[in-house]
Amino acid sequence: KKFCPGFGIYQKHKKKTEQEILYGPIVSPVVCGHATNKTINYQASSGGIITALCIHLLKNSLVDGILQVRQSHKDPTRTEPHLSSTIEDVLECMGSRYAPCSLFEHLREYLSTGKRLAVVGKPCDIAALKQYMAVYPEKTCNIL
pLDDT at 114 over 70: yes
The pTM of this model reads: 0.82
Is the separation of the CB atoms in 116 and 64 below 8 Å?
yes
Give the torsion sign (CA, 63, 53, 51, 58): negative
pLDDT of res. 107: 92
Task: List, as own/partner pairs, every contact residues 53-57 make where C-beta atoms lie below 8 angstroms and the sequence separation is at least 24, other chains included.
Answer: 54/84, 54/90, 54/118, 54/120, 55/87, 55/90, 55/91, 57/118
Separation CA 58–CA 107 (nearest Å) = 19
Average the pLDDT over 55-65 and give the result. Answer: 98
Q: For 95-116, give one letter per residue: b (16+ CB within 10 A) or e.
A: eebeeebebbeebeebbeeeee
Average the pLDDT over 26-55 and give the result. Answer: 90
pLDDT at 13 over 70: no
Residue 125, classed as helix, strand or coil, is helix
pLDDT at 12 over 80: no
pLDDT of res. 23: 73
pLDDT of res. 25: 73
Is the separation of the CB atoms in 15 and 25 below 8 Å?
yes
pLDDT of res. 24: 72
Separation CA 123–CA 108 (nearest Å) = 20
Q: How confident is the model at residue 81 (pLDDT cuts 50, 70, 90)?
A: very high
Neighbours of 69 (CB within 10 A): 20
